[in-house]
Amino acid sequence: MKKDFKILAIETSCDETSASIVVNGRTCLSNIVSSQIDIHTRFGGVVPEVASRNHITAIDNVVKLALKKANFTFRDIDAIAVTYGAGLVGSLLVGVSYAKAVSYALNIPLIAVNHIYGHIAGNYLSFPDLVPPFICLVVSGGHTAIIEVKDFNHHKIIGSTLDDAVGESFDKVARVLGLGYPGGPKVDALAKKGKNIIQFAKPNDNLGYNFSFSGKKTAVINYVHKLEQAEKPIPKEDICLSFERWVVDELCQKSIDACKSLGYDKIVVAGGVSANSALRESLYSECEQNKIKCFFPDFQFCTDNAAMIGSAAYYAYLDGVGIADVSLSPNPSLSL
């Protein structure tokens, strides 16, 4: 292995077109993210066909900007990494095709990365000394899980959602309140002005380390619909905070229980919902009380970005996993 291993990483699994240059899995020289939020906002969510068409328009410029910002040309990179799942098939296809073409043209290795392993690796960029083993709480728009990260490439699922992902439930609550897309940051902001006074009809579940967010989302929707039918005002701020506290308390309690019972001393949070301010505040403070070290990625590495893919790719390459070739296809339902 060369002294400095420089990876060009590409991420197009949903509605962000992103490219990044990452050195030795830990140093991010550039991380360009072209968001399509403005385009999808008017539809209230991501429209897959529209997303893939916009990736096609954006990708070449995004890659060139990432190279330029790092002061690189294509000739300076040692490998190309790409997210090949999970995600929207048409969106993944754009990144995968682009990466295959670059790998073939430059005759450099192609590294296929699982999007969720990428989210976990966002923390390796934020904390240069962080190494497994640890417990990871994955909270994104498509996944929610507690994972035992035994090594860079060995993960074991301890618990996961049985229905909706936590980010998805934030988005759906935002939608019923008319807050727009993506909903998580909007619920987060409004919750800061609210009071935690609403007792939603709580499903009586005993799920161990698993989660269920569909019932919580439905409880909020039913609460709002009842007020609408009675033509009463909707206390949006209180609804946001009461829902957020309900979700955050469960995420904190289960990840701390898992960490303690499995004998770990670190909890690492990954995925878009790691940007949530209530989750950050509560988990930091509860971990401190339990003598557990707690890690949240820098904000730029919370939601989808290519730098996290470049970091995960480096550790995959070191262990000889994920090495792909021109036969690589996207896997929209790739599991953890």
Q: Which residues bind Zn ion (CB under 5 A)?
A: 140, 304
How many CB atoms sit inside 10 A of residue 63's CB? 26
- Inter-residue contact 290 to 256 (CB < 8 Å): yes
**What CA–CA distances, in Å, run from 42 to 17, 91, 164, 180, 189?**
19, 19, 23, 9, 20
Instruction: Give whichever of 77 and 182 is closer to ligand KG4, judged by the CB atom.
Output: 182
Restricting to residues 298-317, name those near ligand KG4 by CB under 6 A. Answer: 303-304
* Choice between 215 and 272, CB closer to Zn ion: 272
Site string for ligand KG4, 122-141 (x = CB under 6 A): ------------------xx
d(CA 213, CA 169): 6
Distances, alpha carbon 123 to alpha carbons 143, 205, 224, 270, 300, in Å: 17, 32, 37, 8, 11
Candidates 12, 97, 126, 276; binder of ligand KG4 (CB under 6 A) is 276
- Tell whether omega for the bond before 182 is within 30 degrees of 0, i.e. cis: yes
Kindly tell me which of 133 and 185 has the beta carbon lying closer to ligand KG4: 185
Residues 6+ apart with CB under 8 A from 19: 8, 9, 10, 11, 30, 32, 59, 62, 63, 65, 66, 306
For ligand KG4, which residue of 215, 271, 310, 322 counts as binding (CB under 6 A)? Answer: 271
For residue 154, the cross-strand partners are 151
Interacting span for ligand KG4 (CB under 6 A) from 179-187, 194-202, 216-224, 327-335: 179-187
Phi and psi, residue 53, nearest 5° = -65, -40
Q: Which of 188, 216, 220, 328 binds ligand KG4 (CB under 6 A)?
A: 188
Q: Name the minimum Å distance from CB 334 to Zn ion.
A: 12
Binding of ligand KG4 by 273 (CB under 6 A): yes
Direct distance between the N- and C-terminal alpha carbons of the chain, in angstroms, rounded to an integer: 28
Q: Whose Cβ is closer to Zn ion: residue 87's or residue 159's? A: 87
Burial 259-272 (b: 16+ CB within 10 A, else e): beeeebebbbbbbb
Q: What are phi and psi of 297, to 5 degrees?
A: -70, 160
182 binds ligand KG4 (CB under 6 A): yes
Measured distance CA(148)–CA(267) in Å, rounded: 10
Instruction: Pick one of ligand KG4, Zn ion, none as the site partner of residue 276 (Cβ within 5 to 8 A by kind).
Output: ligand KG4
148 touches ligand KG4 (CB under 6 A): no
Query: Segment contacting ligand KG4 (CB under 6 A): 97-105, 183-191, 218-226, 257-265?
Result: 183-191
- We find the least distance from the C-beta atom of residue 139 to Zn ion, in angstroms, to be 10
Site string for ligand KG4, 7-36 (x = CB under 6 A): -------x----------------------
Residue 241 touching ligand KG4 (CB under 6 A): no
Residues in the site for ligand KG4, rule: CB under 6 A?
14, 119, 140-142, 167-168, 170-171, 182-185, 188, 271-273, 275-276, 303-304
